[in-house]
Chain A
Amino acid sequence: MRGFFVIAGALAVGIAAFAPPATAQDYPKDTVTLVTHSSVGGGSDVFLRELSKYLGPALGANVIVENVTGGSGANAMARLASAPPDGSIFYATTPTFIYTSLLSNPEATYKDLEPLVNVFTDPEVIYTAEGSPYKTLQDVIDHAKTAQGTWGAANPASLERQLLERLKKAAGVNAAVVTHEGGGDMMINVLNGTLDIGVGEVQEVKSQLEAKQIRILATFSAEKLDTLPDVPTVKSLGYDIVARKFRGLAGPKGLPADVIAAWEKAIPAVLANPEYKAVYTAADLRPDFIPHAEYGPFIESFVAETEAFLKETGVIQ
C-alpha cells in the first residue's frame, strides 16, 4: 500500500514538473499532492486521507496523499521546500514541524514553507483514572499544593508538556511533569495511579473513556466539546490556557494568489459538507478555519511561544 502511494506521489510530481507554468486560468491542477510526515495510519495520515475524499470534488482535482516519513517531519519539509509553489503540493502542518525546526537543524525549516490555511484544532484534555480521588481539576491542583503532584505528558518536547508547564505556573504549584514515550505508555501510569493526571488528545483516550477506565476533568480547547458537553474548559476554571494543536496546510514559499483563493474557497466548503461534518465530529476534531492572511501570523506566534518555552525549560539554548 505505502509503496503504491509513494510511487503515485512520485509520478504526480513528475507530471507536475513537466506541465507548463501555472497561470491564473489553469488552477486547480489535475493532481494535488498532500504530503504528511506521519506513516500510514498515523494521526496526520488519517486526517489527510479523510479530507482528500471530500476535497477532490470541492477543489475539482485529484487529491492524493504521500507519506514522507522520517526525521520527525524533516524529510517532508525538505520535500516541500524544493517543490514548485504552483499549488500542486502541500504539507499537513501540525505542531510537530515547528518542534522539529526548533529542536534540530534540518535542511529545510518552517521558515522555508508558507502557511496556507488552517483546517482543524485537536482538543487536548486532562484525564484521570476512574478510581482516583480527583473529581475536578481543582482537586488535582489542591493536591499538588500540599503534596508532590505527578502530571503526565506523552512526549518530552511536546505541546502537551508545554500546556502542563503553563498550568503549573498559572496555578502556582510545583507538580512533577513526567514525560513518556507516547500516549500509551502514559495511559498505563494514569490507570495504575502513578500519575494524578495525564494530558492527551480526545481521540487517543477514547477507548479507555468508553470502557469507563478514565474520567475527563477539563479540556484545553477554547470552547466546550460537542461530544463531552459536561467537561469544563481549563480557561473557564480560571487558568488562561488554550491549546492550539493546529492541523492545517502549508506550501512552498511564494504561493500565487489564485491558488490561495481556490483553497480559501474549498476548505470552508468541505468543512460545511454534512457527510464530512459527521465524520470529523465523531473523531472529535474541531473545525477551525483560519484564512491565509491570518494563518502566517498565527504560526509565527505559535513559534514564538514554543521557542520561549523550549528555552525556559533548557531544551534549547
Chain B
Amino acid sequence: MQSAEILVTTPAILMACIGVAWGILGGALPGISPSITMALLLPFTYTLEPTSALILLASSYVGAEYGGSIPAILIRTPGTNAAAATVIDGYEMNRQGKAGLALGISLYSGVIGSLFGLLMLVVLSEPLSRVALSFRPPSYFALGILGLSVIVTLSGGSLVKAMIAGIFGLMVATVGTDPVTGGNRFTFGTADLLGGIEPVLIMVGLFAVSELLVQATQKDTTIRVESTARIEFPGWKLARRLLPAQMIGNVVGTFEGVMPGAGGTVASFIAYNEAKRWSRHKDEFGKGSPEGIAAPETANNTVSATAIIPLLAFGIPGSNSTAVLLGGFLIHGITVGPMIFVKSADVVHGLYGGLFVASIAQLIIGIMMMAPCIWLVNRPRAYLNAFIFALIFSGVFSIHQSLFDLSLVLGAGVVGFFMRMLKIPFLPTVLGLVLGYLVESNYRRALVISGGDHSIFLTDPISLGLLVVAALFIAGSLGRTLLETMKSRRTALN
C-alpha cells in the first residue's frame, strides 16, 4: 500500500511520535486547547515537507485529546474542553485511589477512538470527494456558502455576535489582490499585504496570543498536583465491560466529527449520556464509573480523526482544530477540497499512515509523558506563558523573517483578547477568513462566465443542491433556536 511506502520513506513515524508527545503536553495544560497546541506548532511546519508537516499537526490533535484527560482525572480541571465530561467519573476514581486505572482507561479508549476514527476517515473521505471534477466555479461558490452557513450553529448563544465575528473574517479576507481584476485592495501601498493576510498568522494570534493575554490578567490559581499515579491498563473482564461504552463513543464521535460545528466537546457529553442510558451499571455513573471515562474519551479521540473528513472532502473546517490543520495545508500550497485526492494523493495517504502510527504510538508515549506532564502542569503560570510567547514569536519569525508578520500576530492577539472579553466566538472569524476568498472569487468568476447572469447558480446542479442544503441548515438552526426560546419563556412564565 502507498501509505506504508510513505511511512518508510519519510520521517513520518518520528513526526507522528513528536506530534503525539507535543499534543499530550499541550492538552494537559489547562487553557491550552487542541487548536492552540496545533497553532503553536504551525509556524515550525513551514520548513518541513508537506506530508511530515501534516502528520505532525494531525498527530498533535490526537495527542491533545488524550492529554486533556490527565488534569481532568488528577486535579479535576479538564485540560481541554472535550475532557470536561471525563472529570465527572475520572476525578471520582482518583479519589477512590484508582487514578492509575482511570488514566489507563482514558488512554486505551483514546487509542480505540483514534483507530476507529481513522478507519472512517479512510473509508468516507474519498467517495465523498468523487464528485471533484464536476465542481465548477458556481459549485465552489455554493460550497463556500454552505461552509459559512455553519456560523449559525457556532453562535453558542448570540447569533449577532457570531455574525460580527464571521463578517470580520470576511473583511480581512478581502485584503490583498482582487481575484478578478488583479487590483490592490486595502494594501495601503505596502507589498507585505499584496498577497493578502495569511490565515495562519491570524489563527496563531486569535487562539494562542489572546489566551496568554487573558491568562496574564488572572491570578495563578493552579492546584499543585502531588501524584505518583502509574498508568494501569484494565484487565480482560473490565475491558469487555467497557466495549459497549467505547462503541457508543465511536459512533457518536463519527457523527459529531463529520457534522461541522459540533466537535469533540459535544461528542464527549453526548457519548457520556448515551453510555449512561445504555449501561447495565447506570447507578455507578457519577461515582467513579470506568465507562464514564471510556465513552467520552473514545468519542473525543474519534472526532480527532473524523473531523478531518469534511476538511479533506470539501475543504470545510468544522472546528478550530481542523481550521488550524487547514492552515497546515495552505502553508504548503495544497488546496484542500474535492481535488486533493487527485492532485495531492500522496500527501493524503501519508497523512493516513501517520495518523495510524500516532494512534498506536499514543499507548507508549502516553505512559512516557506522564511525568513531564505533571511537572509542566505544576510550573508557575508566569514562566510557562513567557516560554509560550517566545515559542510563538520565534516560530512566526522563522516563516518569512518578517517583522510585519509578528505585528500581525500581536494585532490579531489583541483583537482576540477583546473578542473574548465580549464573548464573540473565534471560529466564525476563521471560517470567514479561509472561505471568504473562495466565495468571492468563485462568485465573480461564475458571473464572468455567465456574462452577469445569476441564474448560473441555479442551473449548475451541484451549486443548486449545496445552496438548498445551506438554506435548510440555516432554517433548521433558526427553528431550533426559536423553539428553545419559546420553551424557556414558557418555563419562565410558569
Contacts and interface: CB of A to CB of B under 8 A. Distances in A.
A23 interface: no
Contact of A105 (B177, B182, B189): B189
A103 B445 contact: no
A70 B343 contact: no
A158 interface: yes
A188 B339 contact: yes
Given A1-B47, A178-B445, A103 B184 contact: yes
A156 B47 contact: no
Interface stretch (B67-75, B129-137, B386-394, B478-486): B129-137
A179 B398 CA distance: 32
A177 B449 CA distance: 8
A31 interface: no
Interface string A173-191: 0001111110011001101
A194 B137 contact: yes
B331 to A, nearest CB: 10
B195 to A, nearest CB: 6
A72 B194 contact: yes
Nearest to A108: B191
B451 interface: yes
A71 B192 contact: yes
Contacts of A17: none
B449 A104 contact: no
Given A2-B47, A192-B133, A179 B182 contact: yes
Interface string A276-317: 000000000000000000000000000000000010011110
Nearest to B451: A148
A106 B133 contact: no
B191 A71 contact: yes
A208 to B, nearest CB: 11
A313 B182 CA distance: 10
B120 to A, nearest CB: 27
B472 to A, nearest CB: 27
Contacts of A156: 177-182
Nearest to A177: B448
Given A6-B401, A178-B445, A70 B47 contact: no
Interface string B30-68: 000000000000000011000000000000000000000
Interface in B170-184: 177-184
A148 B446 CA distance: 13
A158 B182 contact: yes
A169 B449 CA distance: 18
B335 interface: yes
A164 interface: no
A178 B449 contact: yes
A49 B463 CA distance: 44
A104 B194 contact: yes
B187 interface: yes
Contacts of B47: 1-3
A70 B47 CA distance: 15
26 contacts: A70-B195, A70-B400, A71-B192, A71-B195, A74-B194, A100-B191, A103-B182, A103-B184, A104-B184, A104-B191, A104-B194, A107-B191, A155-B182, A156-B179, A157-B183, A161-B182, A176-B451, A179-B180, A179-B182, A189-B136, A191-B133, A192-B133, A194-B449, A313-B182, A314-B181, A316-B183
Interface of B: 46-47, 133-137, 177-184, 187, 189-192, 194-195, 335, 339, 343, 398, 400-402, 437, 441, 445, 448-449, 451
**7 closest pairs, A vs B, by CB?**
A157-B182, A74-B191, A156-B182, A71-B191, A105-B189, A106-B191, A70-B400
